[in-house]
Amino acid sequence: MPKVIGLTGGIASGKSTVSELLTAHGFKVVDADVAARQAVAKGTKGLEQVKAVFGEAAIDKDGNMDRAYVGDVIFNHPEKRLELNEIVHPIVHDIMQQEKEDYLKQGFNVIMDIPLLFENELQDTVDEVWLVYTSESIQIERLMERNDLSMEDAKARVYSQISIDKKRRMADHEIDNRDTKLELKQNLEQLLVEEGYIDNDTDTEEVE
Give dist(CA 47, CA 67) in Å, integer. 11
Cβ(21)–Cβ(125) below 8 Å: no
Element (H, E) at 69: helix 67-76
- Annotated binding residues for ATP: 12-17
Binding-site residues from annotation: 12-17
Contact 158, 139 (CB under 8 A): yes
The residue among 197, 58, 33 whose CA lies nearest residue 112 is 33
Please state whether beta strands 4-9 and 128-133 pair in parallel, antiparallel, or not at all (unpaired).
Answer: parallel
Angle at 153 between CA 165 and CA 81, to 5 degrees: 80
CA distance 53 to 47: 10
Rounded distance between C-alpha atoms, residue 58 and residue 66, angstroms: 5
